[in-house]
Chain A
């Protein structure tokens, strides 16, 4: 999968490296700001109240 993406990046090595970094940055931002908060809400791993629900 990663090799497939790498081969499809256009340009020479410096351009490819830059594009790969930008791509990785976008994925990280999406995870950090959208997906992780959503997963965290759904899992509710850190319930801290006493409310009678086990």
Chain B
């Protein structure tokens, strides 16, 4: 039996029901565990939907910034500013691509590896993006021959997927000017997308290589490869 003094203290602490101490401890532990569980589920929800939603909002702003930059005639993008638009008709998606691949850059959508080629140039246009719903989630659905269209102030550059592979995060050669022969100078105009794989994990990188198939002046209108994507 519990002593009277202890009983009185417990009554003061909890006027509604008196519970033995071991039950109170068990209840507190249960509450803490439940709280941790709910927090984890919420964080998973944030990582899946919250980040995607933030990127969607950022993209809306970047799109407007890109239009203004092009209208102002400013062709050289600064780090952290949008540098081009990327369309993938197969995934029914398009993004404003930010110059740079820091964490801050990639929170706005896909990012262009600095010091890699610009759309249309001989070399390799490197673009990284998160493996989340509003960015490169479905990159594994791309098939050989699918168009990836880069849009700049002056032109449309239609690249066609030539290959897909999974590499380690250390394989910097995939964004080298000549990804097939990293030590040799580039001969073709390539575009390479990188994202993480497997989904939600960080162990490897999913790489999609594409090769320039068609160049079209902005004044010549939208390329057929875009299909019926809304302007």
- SS of A interface (majority): loop
Q: Quick check: B170 and A54 within 8 Å, CB to CB? A: yes
Q: Quick check: A39 and B128 within 8 Å, CB to CB? A: no
A32-B46, A49-B194 known; A44+B170 contact, CB < 8 A: no
- SS of B interface (majority): mixed
Q: Quick check: B42 and A49 within 8 Å, CB to CB? A: no
Contacts of B16 in A (CB 8 A): 7
Report the bound CA distance from A47 to B16 in whole Å: 51
The reply on A53 being an interface residue by CB < 8 A is: yes
The reply on B36 being an interface residue by CB < 8 A is: no
Q: Quick check: B171 and A45 within 8 Å, CB to CB? A: no
List A residues 11-38 near B (Cβ within 8 Å). 28, 31-32, 36-37
Q: Which of B67-75, B129-137, B210-218 contacts A (4 or more CB under 8 A)?
A: B129-137
Contacts of B195 in A (CB 8 A): 48
A46-B131, A51-B169 known; A1+B50 contact, CB < 8 A: no
**CB nearest neighbor in B for A39:** B43
The reply on B222 being an interface residue by CB < 8 A is: no
Q: Quick check: B170 and A52 within 8 Å, CB to CB? A: yes
Q: Which of B32, B43, B106, B200 has the most CB of A within 10 A?
A: B43
The reply on B202 being an interface residue by CB < 8 A is: yes
Instruction: Using A31-B39, A46-B202, A50-B172 as known contacts, list a sample of 9 further A-B pairs with CB atoms less than 8 Å apart, ordered by residue number in A.
Output: A32-B46, A36-B47, A44-B103, A45-B202, A48-B194, A48-B195, A50-B205, A51-B101, A51-B169
